[in-house]
C-alpha cells in the first residue's frame, strides 16, 4: 500500500501541474472574488471563510477525474483490483494521495490567502484547522464520485453534479467553524461535527467506491 501511495504521488508530481494546479486555481479564485464584490476590507473579511471553502471545493473537484481515469485507461486498475490488497484499501490510498497533492497544499497555503482577504490572525488559525479537518472528507467523497464515473467518456461535468451535493454538510460545518472562530463564539459543535463527518467518510465511503469500481470493471 505504501508502494502504491508513493507511485501515485510520483505520478501526480511528475505528470506536470498535478501538484500546483489546484493551488494556482485556488489563487485565481481568491484573486477574482474581490473584482466581483469590490475591494472593501470589511466585506471581504466577512465572506472570506465562504470564499476560501468554496475555492477549496472547486480546486479539489478539478483533479478528481484523474484519480482513477488514467489507471482505468491503461489497465492498471484491473491489476490493482486483482492484487492481494483489498480494493477498498486501494481506493483509500488513492484518496490519500489525492489529498496529499491537492488538500494538503491548500491547507498549508490557506493562511496566505486569508491575508489576501483581510482575514484576522485568530480566524486564520480556525481556517487552517477547518480545512485540515474537512478536506480529507472532500477527497474521499471525490474518490467515490470518480469511481462512479470512471468508465464514462465525458464524466467531468457529471462528476461535479454527483459530488458537489455530497459536499454540502462538510462545507456547512467547515465554513461555520471559521465564522464562529473568527467572531469568538463557541466552536465545539461545528468542530466535532466536521471531524465526525470526515472520520465517518473515511471509514465508510471507500466501501461504496470499491463497489462502484467493481461494477465498472465488470
Partner 1 sequence: MSIWEYANPKKFMQTSSWALPWVAGLALIALVTGLVWGFFFTPEDYKQGSTVKIIYLHVPSAMMAINIWVMMLVTSLVWLIRRHHVSALAAKAAAPVGMVMTLIALVTGAIWGQPMWGTWWEWDPRLTSFLILFLFYLGYMALWEAIDNPDTAADLTGVLCLVGSVFAVLSRYAVNFWNQGLHQGATLSMDKEENISDVYWYPLLLCIAGFILLFVTLVLIRTRTEIRARRLKALEARERMA
The footprint of partner 1 (CB under 8 A) covers 144, 148-149, 151-152, 155, 158, 161-162, 164-166, 168-169, 172-173, 176, 189-190, 193, 197, 205, 208, 211-212, 215-216, 218
Shortest spacing between CB 162 and partner 1, in angstroms = 5
Shortest spacing between CB 39 and partner 1, in angstroms = 26
Using alpha carbons, select from 108, 91, 214 the residue that is nearest to residue 142: 91
- Identify the sign of the CA torsion 15, 28, 157, 173: positive
Residue number with CB closer to partner 1 (99 or 173):
173
Shortest spacing between CB 4 and partner 1, in angstroms = 23
Helix 188-217 × helix 168-182 angle, to 10°: 160
Read off the C-alpha cell for 169: 454538510
Give the number of other CB atoms < 10 A from CB of residue 93.
Answer: 22
Residue number with CB closer to partner 1 (100 or 211):
211
Residue number with CB closer to partner 1 (103 or 206):
206
Residue number with CB closer to partner 1 (20 or 151):
151
> 133, 195 in Cβ contact below 8 A?
yes
Shortest spacing between CB 13 and partner 1, in angstroms = 31
> 13, 22 in Cβ contact below 8 A?
no
Amino acid at each position: 500500500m505504501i508502494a502504491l501511495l508513493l507511485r501515485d504521488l510520483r505520478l501526480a508530481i511528475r505528470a506536470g501541474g498535478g501538484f500546483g494546479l489546484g493551488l494556482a486555481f485556488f489563487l485565481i479564485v481568491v484573486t477574482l472574488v474581490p473584482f466581483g464584490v469590490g475591494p472593501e476590507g470589511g466585506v471581504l473579511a466577512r465572506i472570506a471563510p465562504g470564499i476560501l471553502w468554496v475555492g477549496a471545493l472547486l480546486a479539489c473537484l478539478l483533479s478528481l477525474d484523474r484519480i482513477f481515469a488514467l489507471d482505468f485507461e491503461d489497465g492498471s486498475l484491473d491489476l490493482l483490483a486483482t492484487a492481494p490488497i483489498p480494493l477498498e484499501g486501494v481506493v483509500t490510498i488513492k484518496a490519500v494521495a489525492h489529498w496529499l497533492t491537492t488538500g494538503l497544499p491548500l491547507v498549508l497555503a490557506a493562511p496566505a490567502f486569508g491575508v489576501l482577504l483581510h482575514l484576522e490572525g485568530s480566524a486564520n488559525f480556525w481556517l487552517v484547522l477547518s480545512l485540515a479537518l474537512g478536506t480529507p472528507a472532500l477527497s474521499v467523497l471525490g474518490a467515490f464520485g470518480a469511481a462512479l464515473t470512471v468508465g464514462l467518456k465525458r464524466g467531468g461535468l457529471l462528476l461535479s453534479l454527483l459530488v458537489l451535493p455530497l459536499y454540502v454538510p462538510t462545507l456547512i460545518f467547515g465554513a461555520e467553524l471559521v465564522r464562529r472562530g473568527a467572531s469568538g463564539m463557541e466552536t465545539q459543535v461545528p468542530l466535532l461535527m466536521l471531524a465526525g463527518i470526515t472520520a465517518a467518510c473515511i471509514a465508510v465511503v471507500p466501501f461504496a467506491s470499491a463497489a462502484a469500481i467493481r461494477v465498472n470493471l465488470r
